[in-house]
Chains A and B, each alone.
Chain A
Amino acid sequence: MDTTHHPHDVDYGTPASVSEKLVTLEIDGFEVTVPEGTSLMRAAVEAGTQIPKLCATDSLEPFGSCRLCLVEIEGRRGFPASCTTPAEAGMKVRTQSPKLADLRRGVMELYISDHPLDCLTCSANGDCELQDMAGTVGLRDVRYGYEGLNHLKDQADTSNPYFTYDPSKCIVCNRCVRACEETQGTFALTISGRGFESRVSAGESQAFMDSECVSCGACVDACPTATLMEKTVIEAGQPDHSVLTTCAYCGVGCGFKADMKGSEVVRMTPWKDGKANEGHACIKGRFAWGYTTHKDRILKPMIRSKITDPWQEVSWETAIGHAASEFRRIQNKFGVDSIGGITSSRCTNEETYLVQKLVRASFGNNNVDTCARVCHSPTGYGLGQTYGTSAGTQTFKSIEKADVILVIGANPTDAHPVFGSRMKKRLREGARLIIVDPRKIELVSAPHIKADYHLQLRPGTNVAIVNALAHVIVTEGLLDQQFIDERCDKEAFNYWRDFVASDNNSPEALESMTGVPAHLVREAARLYATAGNGAIYYGLGVTEHSQGSTAVIGIANLAMATGNIGREGVGVNPLRGQNNVQGSCDMGSFPHEYPGYRHVSDDATRTLFEKDWGVSLRKEPGLRIPNMFEAAMDGTFKGLYCQGEDIVQSDPNTQHVIAAMEAMECIVVQDLFLNETAKYAHVFLPGSSFLEKDGTFTNAERRISRVRKVMAPKAGLADWEATVALSNALGYPMHYKDPSEIMAEIARLTPTFSGVTYEKLDQLGSVQWPCNDAMPEGTPLMHIDHFVRGKGRFLITQYVPTHEKVTPKFPLLLTTGRILSQYNVGAQTRRTENVQFHEEDRLDIHPQDAAERGIQEDDWVGITSRAGETVLRARVTERMQPGVVYTTFHFPESGANVITTDNSDWATNCPEYKVTAVQVVKVKHTSEWQENFHEFNETQLRLLKEKVVTTEAAGTR
């Protein structure tokens, strides 16, 4: 595959037909064979000719309104529209004739008579289908003048920060309306008015920003004219080339074309052939890339001996040399195990692989962890224990075959928007829906979607609900016994069956704990077990609990019990938070395992790595992130290399994390910005954005996709190069010249990756691991004939209430989450116009709880837990249930994690972000923590501003 493209790809006019039956017809004298159901328009493209069109595009169902695509069919009267007429065997079609040319010119004439003729200065010049069509049909004059009624003076709506709507250029083709409905599923647009009056309108004749629009950009992509247009293109002009790459935000991992002008990005266009997204995107990936050139980026390495000193700008050599000598000094004084590293799910596979190699081979210990610790580590444990592999079982496309969808603790329309849209599409086609969530998330009731069941449980009772569902399946005879007999361990199943069948696990017995009426649980269980293909999607609402791993195991049990594993339309699908969570786990970032999930105590694996890396390796597990903090407090952990992660903002119990930071002697942070962690650092290494480096990301469906460099690293080195330099300075030489060599090493040492090469990724676009000799093109579906571990293993999942209990002092439960426009700690999205959509974290509270406390919308409220206190503004909303409050954590000053506690998952130490007992009261001031934060932040920004520029740094890039 050619990985750089001309900005325009072929548009087939209508979507592909999936029919297996083929029909052969003749178009302009050429024979062509297409799947039944293909439109004449698409068949013509297959035959090598383009029929003029305006209202059709291949991402949308045909609409048949513009009448430009007329054709003649032998033996039929009239001039049918080729976009809405299906190809039939034996048809003889003519796409060109004098009569057709005449008709088409007439159509174009009408359009142009109400269209400004400012083509030369129009932002779409060179990318306008109206202009193209005028040329194609040979329009030479327009008989109707501009004297009549027209829309040329209509005012443009520029309210959206990323695109404008200029109604004077609208041809009312309806493509935007259909894109919003079919592709995105938001239904924000309508055509209001009739006939000449008709115009596209957002909401009820509102400005885009005031409407339901979620700024996904699908309508902008679909618009054939300059009516809906990216502001960046208006400013910069049309791109001159494009490079295929992968979104650096969420775990959907959308493929994009970075549309470039030289080395400047002018637009990110979702890649039509990208298998994760099929041409769709969300506000973050499509629009929120401005952070990559934000003035806050730090482009020179810096060092300081104390965090109260001003920073000193130095050369890369000095910074790396300083970090290396500090790490060795600490190890000499406090022992080999006194330092460690943290990799990030925001970095590429190659980068995380290198960091864990650096820690194991060069630091000489296993103290490496990744931010997946705090999100999906229970997925790794739970699915590993039951199925034998630590990953989702399906492709995203599989959802098109699902008959009943069970969403547990996930909010795909906000956190995984493009997959959320794919899910909504399937739901509009009639798939049934069960939601298990404490909040009324959007999917519970969205345009043309209504959940069959919303089990609105109390936070912290997932395991109880999962057990209750299992109880119904077992006791009401809904098991898929044949699947179980063939595919699962019999003894383990029998134990599990007897366990869930016990009365303690009945929906009735658990109702008082979960708060969910027993009959709803019963009905939902019946639906999941009997409605055909049952697919489970879950997120951090499952994992971030003290029983996170138990819940994942419970979910895996449910799928096995109902035989919903091993084919399309079913499965267990963790929705990963950040773009490369899957990849960073695969790459051996956890302290107990090597790439490919092999334990460090496994002699054969360790020997393999020892031989390849030429060092001896430790067989005991290293420290996990929370253990690192504990060891720091203890005085035995003193140095940290933290790549692309902001632990101070994202990890729970902020005050505890800060105390640990302050107890360390050398913290090296590699990042784009002076993030919260960097404010406690001694060495700052400037990071490179995803546009500045080569590598791969692995999304939630195990799909490995290329990240391609479209511009040189702004700070001089790509992140992997900095790690290589650090390792060399530490005396463990690394010799990679290109990330492809790192991938070659990964493939050499990791059986599930053995078939992965950059050439293959260029050729196929992407592959899903396992990719090896047995599956050279990758593995879309896992566990087809047998589980990776052999027999599927049911495990008993006893519900154990969390230690975090409500009391009269802390009577409410706080749960945390994220919203569409912001991403994780917000370091990137806060530095884009996305702040216009979400400018502060709020506390969501049910009207009843608010009234009891005299709290009204927008009031400042203090939230206190056993760990700390912070102050936010209230949003009073019925999305919450009484007794439960909710907030996001995208802004550091919100201090959401000042309140969250040290409680964590029993198996993996994944923090219990989703359950904290709190009290909420109306207040007048920010909290003491916030005041201290403010002061500390001011100091740190001053220390950055007052940085000393050394002469050697001034001489480097």
Chain B
Amino acid sequence: MNVENLIKMANDIGTFFEAMPNREQATRDVATHIRKFWEPRMQKSLIAYLGTHGDETLKPIVRDALREIHPA
């Protein structure tokens, strides 16, 4: 999967939930959204990429959410 695109999509999801007042809840919502709507190979591609390239390209809220989905 085109990782650049996945990063953009993940960050856009992060942007929506970032505006929510409760940060913990918002992080959970990002995780839930990705879990509910992303086919496993999309999730895996993104996580694999981050494992090798680091995750600076991601918004912090998305980073936290991914850790929730796949604890390192």
Contact = CB atoms under 8 A, between A and B. Distances in A.
Main secondary structure of the interface of A (DSSP, over half): loop
A906 B15 CA distance: 9
Interface of B: 1-2, 5, 8-9, 12-13, 15-16, 18-21, 33, 35-42
B1 A630 contact: yes
B41 A907 contact: no
7 contacts: A337-B39, A367-B39, A592-B36, A621-B37, A622-B39, A630-B5, A909-B9
Nearest to A797: B19
A620 B15 contact: no
Contacts of B9: 904, 906, 909
Interface string A905-926: 0111100000000000000000
Interface of A: 337, 366-367, 495, 499, 546, 549-550, 591-592, 599, 601, 620-624, 627, 630-631, 633-634, 636, 796-798, 800, 803, 902, 904, 906-909
Please list the 4 inter-chain residue pairs (A to B) with the smallest Cβ-Cβ separation, ordered nearest first.
A906-B12, A798-B19, A623-B39, A796-B19
B16 A337 contact: no
A637 to B, nearest CB: 9
Given A633-B2, A907-B13, A627 B42 contact: yes
Contacts, number: 65
A367 B41 CA distance: 12
Contacts of B18: 798
A337 B41 contact: yes
Contacts of B8: 803
A546 to B, nearest CB: 7
Which of B8, B12, B33 has the most C-beta atoms of chain A within 10 angstroms of its own C-beta? B12
Contact of A546 (B1, B12, B19, B33): B12
A77 B20 CA distance: 76
Given A620-B39, A627-B1, A797-B19, 9 more contacts: A550-B16, A623-B42, A624-B37, A627-B39, A630-B2, A634-B2, A796-B21, A800-B12, A907-B33
Nearest to A906: B12
Contacts of A627: 1, 39, 42
Contacts of A902: 5
Contacts of A904: 9
A373 B32 CA distance: 20
B41 A798 contact: no
A631 B5 CA distance: 12
Nearest to B38: A621
B1 A634 contact: yes
A800 B15 contact: yes
B5 A907 contact: no
A634 B38 CA distance: 16
A909 B2 CA distance: 14
Contacts of A907: 13, 16, 33, 37
Given A633-B2, A634-B1, A591 B39 contact: yes
A906 B5 contact: no
B40 to A, nearest CB: 5
Contact of A798 (B5, B13, B15, B38): B15
Contacts of B39: 337, 366-367, 591, 620-624, 627, 631
Nearest to B21: A495
A601 B36 contact: yes
B22 to A, nearest CB: 8
A631 B16 CA distance: 25
Nearest to B2: A630
Given A630-B1, A630-B2, A634-B1, A906 B36 contact: no
Nearest to A629: B2
Contacts of A592: 36-37
Contact of A499 (B12, B19, B36): B19
A796 B15 contact: no
A701 B2 CA distance: 38
Contact of A621 (B1, B15, B20, B36): B36
A810 to B, nearest CB: 19
A906 B16 contact: yes
A623 to B, nearest CB: 5
Contacts of B37: 592, 621, 624, 907-908
Contacts of A499: 19
Contacts of B36: 592, 599, 601, 621
Contacts of B20: 495, 796
Contacts of A796: 19-21
A818 B22 CA distance: 41
B70 to A, nearest CB: 13
A177 to B, nearest CB: 52
Contacts of B12: 546, 800, 906
Contacts of B19: 499, 796-798
A499 B22 CA distance: 13
B60 to A, nearest CB: 16
A495 B42 CA distance: 33
- A592, A601, A622, A633, most chain B CB atoms within 10 A: A592
Interface-central residue, B2, B9, B12, B39, by most chain A CB under 10 Å: B39
Contacts of B33: 907
A549 B16 CA distance: 10
The residue in A627, A631, A800 that gathers the most chain B C-beta atoms within 10 A of its C-beta is A627
A624 B42 CA distance: 11
B66 to A, nearest CB: 16
B61 to A, nearest CB: 13
A907 B34 CA distance: 9
Nearest to B40: A620
A902 B1 CA distance: 14
B13 to A, nearest CB: 5
Contacts of A550: 16
B27 to A, nearest CB: 15
Contacts of A495: 20-21
A438 B12 CA distance: 24
A631 B13 contact: no
A901 to B, nearest CB: 12
Contact of A906 (B2, B13, B40, B42): B13
Contacts of B41: 337, 631, 636
A631 B38 contact: no
B16 A798 contact: yes
Nearest to B42: A627
